[in-house]
Structure 1
């Protein structure tokens, strides 16, 4: 039996990692938090030229998707912390993940609050959340949405936990699989939007 993937999608600084940490505290079964930032942090710190960077980042995201799929297929429950800011990412995930066992959660936050958080953090490029804001939720289809502008990470985690036993069928991923055609994600085909 594949593990369940709780797929948190939102812009940088929207609160996905905070929600994931809260979920790990309240969910009854064991879950692994797999944030894409952890994959970027594993990479060597050597300087990468601008001509290499798009391919490198794309390969990192592709590997991340396949690692998540592998963990879930081995029966592990996973909380994924993601940013669907490039057109190829969602179709790649839809093609890889067991669609029946994915809960797609939209993590929303107002642009003003995102910009405030981004500035307070100081570890993200200025304007990153604003650049991602329109693209991240463009597919428009979720099993569940939460808004961290007004709700705490703990409140969002409780909302997600309460939703899990009642999750509908078909899932958002099952419905997306009918409309999206996964295409091979080959490096170098498009300009990169930083994670």
Structure 2
């Protein structure tokens, strides 16, 4: 059974990932794609208040489960569009440990800080300053197959760019290059997504 393609959108909150994902599902016509969003997994969790330590542990398990659900969907041949915020290094290393790097198109979703702030204020459903707190973290790994700037292009235009690029994704992919960099640094992603020195 062929492994499904994974279009992995990474950017801050309010950068436009979900809007681009919806456009991709509308225009991609060479397969059946599913939109898997980390926010959707967070919404499935119980809403009762938890102590901070318990909440942190639950959030980590939620994200680890999200990463493995991506792998499971793609592993049985489904094409998926992933909507994620890699604002902690372990999230990327965990994804590297469970996703087939050759099947991932890694897309950086960028947006100016001024525009992110404006969108946050307009939405009213995000803590003020959330995007700003993630701004310098989500792209720290510094490598993508393709990038989009949603402060300069519409979600539809970004989706069209990604669609055009998808059949020409490079070999090795950005995921494969990043994984190799970690290995060359004498570290490896573990099943728990932490970096472990050999």
Shorter-normalised TM-score: what interval? over 0.9
The structural deviation recorded for 1:49 is 1.6
In 2, the alpha carbon distance for the partners of 1:122 and 1:60 equals 24
1:190 is matched with which residue?
Answer: none
The structural deviation recorded for 1:185 is 2.4
Deviation track 1:35-80 (CA, whole Å, cap 9, x = no partner) reads: 0000000011111121211101101000000000100011100000
Deviation track 1:92-112 (CA, whole Å, cap 9, x = no partner) reads: 101111111000000000000
Q: Is contact 1:88-1:183 (8 Å) kept?
A: no
TM score, norm. by length of structure 1? 0.93
Q: 1:182 aligns with which of 181, 185, 189?
A: 189
In 2, the alpha carbon distance for the partners of 1:140 and 1:186 equals 18
Q: Is contact 2:93-2:193 (8 Å) kept?
A: no
The structural deviation recorded for 1:186 is 7.5
In 1, the alpha carbon distance for the partners of 2:38 and 2:144 equals 20
In 1, the alpha carbon distance for the partners of 2:168 and 2:52 equals 46
1:14 is matched with which residue?
Answer: 15
Q: CA RMSD in A?
A: 1.2
In 1, the alpha carbon distance for the partners of 2:193 and 2:83 equals 22
TM score, norm. by length of structure 2? 0.92
Q: 1:40 aligns with which of 29, 39, 42?
A: 42
1:193 is matched with which residue?
Answer: none
2:136 is matched with which residue?
Answer: 134
Deviation track 1:6-47 (CA, whole Å, cap 9, x = no partner) reads: 000000000000000000000011100000000000011111
Q: Secondary structure at the match of 2:160?
A: helix
- Deviating 4+ runs (over 2 angstroms): 183-187
- What number of residue pairs does the alignment pair up? 187
In 2, the alpha carbon distance for the partners of 1:94 and 1:67 equals 14
Compared CA separation, residues 186 and 164, structure 1 to 2 (3 A): closer
1:3 is aligned to 2:4: yes
Segments of structure 1 that go 5 or more residues without pairing to the other structure are 188-195
In 1, the alpha carbon distance for the partners of 2:99 and 2:191 equals 15
2:185 is matched with which residue?
Answer: none
